[in-house]
């Protein structure tokens, strides 16, 4: 019906260097994000941190990471007198969890929190819960629920304030070869 219901992109990259069996350094992490419905044309952050592996077993892994970052956001449109581009230092805390539920089904969870300045939204949450199902030896079906939250979204030029919460349900087919 020519009605857009979603228009966002997120790319995350990082590198971890183990110091001990549980402690690791994350000398660099970066994220690119855009979301037309949140009035975010381009947002990127880059930082560094440290992490700790809470559980590292054959079926279950759980880690937490914290670090400092720089974030810059360019909005699609802003009200008169407001800045089109804002930047902020950020405190970034995240956790990732993965466990095998059965021989064919795994659960992965990821959550991150960013503490920002008020112009950049004050704080954000990003969470993903995924059930990964092995349908055949080469075909996987993933079902993910995603939650994104911006505490103080920036209004568009017409004064419209984006909703702070966004939920997505995604179905993904993956091929392993």
**pLDDT for 31-49, tens place per residue?**
999 999 999 999 999 999 9
Cβ distance 42 to 73 under 8 Å? yes
Look up residue 55 and give its two tokens: 């559980």
Per the CB < 8 A criterion, the answer to whether 166 and 35 are in contact is: yes
In this structure, are residues 50 and 65 in contact, taking their beta carbons and an 8 Å threshold? Answer: yes
Phi and psi (nearest 5°) for 132? Answer: -100, 120
pLDDT(52) > 90: yes
Q: Does the pLDDT of residue 23 top 90, yes or no?
A: yes
Smallest CA-to-CA distance from 36 within 120, 149, 162, 167 is with: 162
| % of the chain surpassing 90 pLDDT | 94
Average pLDDT score over the chain: 95
Characterize the bridge pairing of strands 139-150 and 123-134.
Answer: antiparallel
Residue for token pair 């720089």: 70
Classify each residue of 119-134 as buried b or exposed e, where b means 16 or more C-beta atoms within 10 Å of its C-beta.
ebbebbebbbebebeb
Task: Give the model's pLDDT for residue 105.
Answer: 97
Q: What is the 3-state secondary structure (H, E, C) of the chain?
A: CCCCCCCEEEEEEEEEEECCCCEEEEEEEEEEEEEHHHCEEEEEEEEEEEEEEEEECCCEEEEEEEEEEEEEEEECCCCCCCCCEEEEEEEEEEEEEEEECCCCEEEEEEEEEEECCHHHCCEEEEEEEEEEEECCCCEEEEEEEEEEEECCCCCCCCCCCCCCEEEEEEEEEEECC
pLDDT single digits (tens) 109-155: 999 999 999 999 999 999 999 999 999 999 999 999 999 999 999 99
Global pTM value: 0.91
């Amino acid at each position: 019906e020519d009605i857009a219901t979603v228009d966002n992109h997120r790319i995350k990259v990082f590198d971890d260097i183990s110091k001990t069996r549980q402690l690791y350094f994350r000398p660099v992490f970066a994220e690119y994000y855009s979301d037309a419905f949140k009035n975010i044309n381009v947002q990127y952050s880059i930082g560094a941190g440290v992490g700790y592996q809470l559980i590292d077993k054959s079926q279950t892994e759980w880690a937490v990471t914290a670090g400092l970052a720089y974030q810059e956001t360019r909005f699609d449109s802003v009200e008169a007198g407001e800045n089109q581009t804002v930047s902020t230092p950020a405190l970034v805390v995240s956790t990732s969890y993965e466990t095998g539920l059965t021989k064919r089904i795994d659960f992965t969870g990821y959550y991150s929190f960013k503490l920002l300045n008020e112009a950049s939204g004050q704080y954000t949450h990003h969470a993903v819960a995924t059930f990964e199902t092995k349908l055949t030896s080469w075909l996987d079906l993933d079902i993910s629920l995603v939650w994104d939250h911006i505490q103080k979204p920036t209004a568009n030029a017409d004064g419209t304030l984006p909703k702070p919460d966004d939920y997505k349900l995604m179905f993904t087919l993956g091929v392993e070869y």
